[in-house]
Amino acid sequence: MQMREQIATALKSAMKNKDRERLSTLRLINAAIKDREIAMRSEGEGEGTVGDPEVLAIMGKMVKQRQESARAYEEGGRLELAEKELSEVAVIEDFLPRQLSEDEVSAAIDSAIAKLGADSIRDMGRVMGELKAQFTGQMDFSKVGPQVKDRLAS
């Protein structure tokens, strides 16, 4: 629960400092986590508590959504809304681990393939599972998937 504690501490700090934008974004993060917990309880998955890997995945998804929204707002000429989305991204990214560089992602893919002895496209699910277990929040899996597929297909 370390991530949730960090978020709670940051929320209290934002309240004390009267930082409205940060406070609003932190509340959105808490709401997304609680939504996931409710969904887990209704699906019957354990106690319905969300651990750090799930929190990282939720926040990664939130960043991606806000980046897409900002792009759409910029294309529509709504720069003030795009700036708001990007400021939310900055707050969320404060809690995410450092993103891996292209070289580090490539090395991680090679390592996972070697570790699992993957040699065909049929092993793609296992390789992706291994990468997600080790690097949740550190790489964009929508970009990693095609790279894994290319390596296994050749």
* 9 and 79 inside one domain: yes
CA distance 153 to 148: 9
Q: In this model, does residue 28 exceed pLDDT 90? A: yes
Q: Tell me: do 67 and 8 sit in the same domain.
A: yes
CA-wise closest residue to 56 among 119, 117, 98? 98
Q: What's the rounded mean pLDDT across residues 20-42?
A: 91
Does 119 or 44 have the greater pLDDT score?
119
pLDDT at 70: 94
Q: Which of 93, 110, 133 is the last residue of a domain?
A: 93
Give the domain extent around 106: 102-153
- Is there a single domain that holds both residue 73 and residue 123? no
Verify that 12 and 37 share a domain, yes or no.
yes
pLDDT of amino acid 135: 84
Once rounded to an integer, what is the mean pLDDT over residues 120-146? 85
Are residue 68 and residue 106 in the same domain, yes or no?
Answer: no
SS (H, E, C) the chain: CHHHHHHHHHHHHHHHHCCHHHHHHHHHHHHHHHHHHHHHHHHCCCCCCCCHHHHHHHHHHHHHHHHHHHHHHHHCCCHHHHHHHHHHHHHHHCCCCCCCCHHHHHHHHHHHHHHHCCCCHHHHHHHHHHHHHHHCCCCCHHHHHHHHHHHHHC
Q: What is the pLDDT of residue 79?
A: 93
**Confidence category of residue 11, pLDDT binned at 50, 70, 90:** very high
Contact (Cβ atoms closer than 8 angstroms) between residue 66 and residue 29 = no
Count of domains for the chain: 2
63 and 41 inside one domain: yes
What's the pTM? 0.71
For position 115, which CATH number holds? 1.10.10.410
Specify whether the CB–CB gap between 72 and 114 falls below 8 A.
Answer: no
CATH number at residue 72: 1.10.1510.10
Q: Is residue 116 domain-shared with residue 134, that is, in the same domain?
A: yes
Does 28 share its domain with 60? yes
Q: What is the pLDDT of residues 34-87, one digit of tens each?
A: 998 888 888 776 666 788 888 888 888 898 899 999 999 999 999 999 999 999
